[in-house]
Structure 1
Amino acid sequence: MESEIAIFALAALAQNTRLETFRLLVRHEPEGLAAGDIANRLAIPANTMSAHLGVLSRAGLITAERRSRSIIYRADLSRLRDLTVFLLEDCCQGRADLCEPRLAELAPCRD
């Protein structure tokens, strides 16, 4: 992952509503949630939620899929994993044996 992509994703999460939205979608994997359900659960007006979902989508943190009349949003767990690995790549001064236990904790998120 390039630094610029990581910065864009971290900036998208650096706002309370977007962070809570992303965490909500992570909890609802793999089925996802409709935009209206997300807005209702977080008590956010629909137009405001739409703007936040757009930011998260442009950052590559969520995906959207049309199902009938609804748009279902899902957290992109592979992007989350890539971002986390990017942040940990240089941990433990490059000594893989020291870093491996930390990276292994991410195993449940691997595809």
Structure 2
Amino acid sequence: MEDSHAASCFAALAHPARLRVFRALVVAGADGLTPGVLAQSLALPAATLSFHLKELMHTGLVCAQRSGRHIHYRAELERMNALLSYLSENCCQGQGCLAPSNLLCTLPEPQHD
């Protein structure tokens, strides 16, 4: 990951509401959440939530998928893991102090209606 892309991801997550949205989507896993559920659970107005989702999607940290009449938003765990790897790539001066990469966060493919 390039420095400029990492910086834009961190900038998106630096807003408390966007961080809460992203964390809720990580918890939701592969099924994701609809905007209505997100807005209600985070007590955010729909217009505000829409703005924050757009910002997170712009960085690639969140994706959206239409399922019938609903849109499900999901955290992009590959992008999240890339961001975490970016932070830790020179950890301990390259001496391998991190957990094995197979412990990175992964999810099964979402089920489609």
Alignment partner, residue 84 of structure 2: 84
Flag the structure with more relative contact order, 1 or 2, with Cα contacts below 8 A and sequence separation at least 6.
2
Gaps of at least 5 residues in structure 2 are: 108-113
User: Contact 2:81–2:104 at 8 Å: present in 1 too?
Assistant: no
1:24 aligns with 2:32: no
- Residue 67 of structure 1 deviates from its aligned partner by 1.1
How far off its partner does 1:94 sit?
1.8
Question: Does the 8 Å CA contact 1:60/1:79 hold for their aligned counterparts?
Answer: yes
How many residue pairs get matched?
A: 107
**In structure 2, C-alpha distance between the alignment counterparts of 1:103 and 1:13, rounded to whole Å:** 24
Q: Which amino acid aligns with 1:54?
A: K
Distance 2:30 2:106 in 1: 13
C-alpha separation between the residues in 1 aligned to 2:14 and 2:104? 24
CA distance, structure 2, for counterparts of residue 94 and residue 29 of structure 1:
31
Cα deviation for residue 33 of structure 1 reads: 0.3
Which residue of structure 2 lines up, in the alignment, with residue 64 of structure 1? 64
> Aligned runs of 1:31-42 on 2, under 5 Å?
31-42=31-42
The unaligned stretches of length 5 or more in structure 1 are none
CA RMSD of aligned residues (A): 1.6
Which letter does structure 2 place at the counterpart of 1:34? Answer: T
Identity %: 43
Deviation at 1:104, TM superposition (A): 2.7
Output the TM-score relative to the length of structure 1: 0.90
| TM-score, normalised with respect to structure 2 | 0.88
Q: Deviations over 1:30-87 (max 9, x none)?
A: 1000011101110100011000000000011010001111110000011010100110
The alignment partner of 1:33 has SS state of coil
Residue 109 of structure 1: SS of its match in structure 2? coil
In structure 2, the partner of 1:5 is 5
Structure with bigger helix share is 1
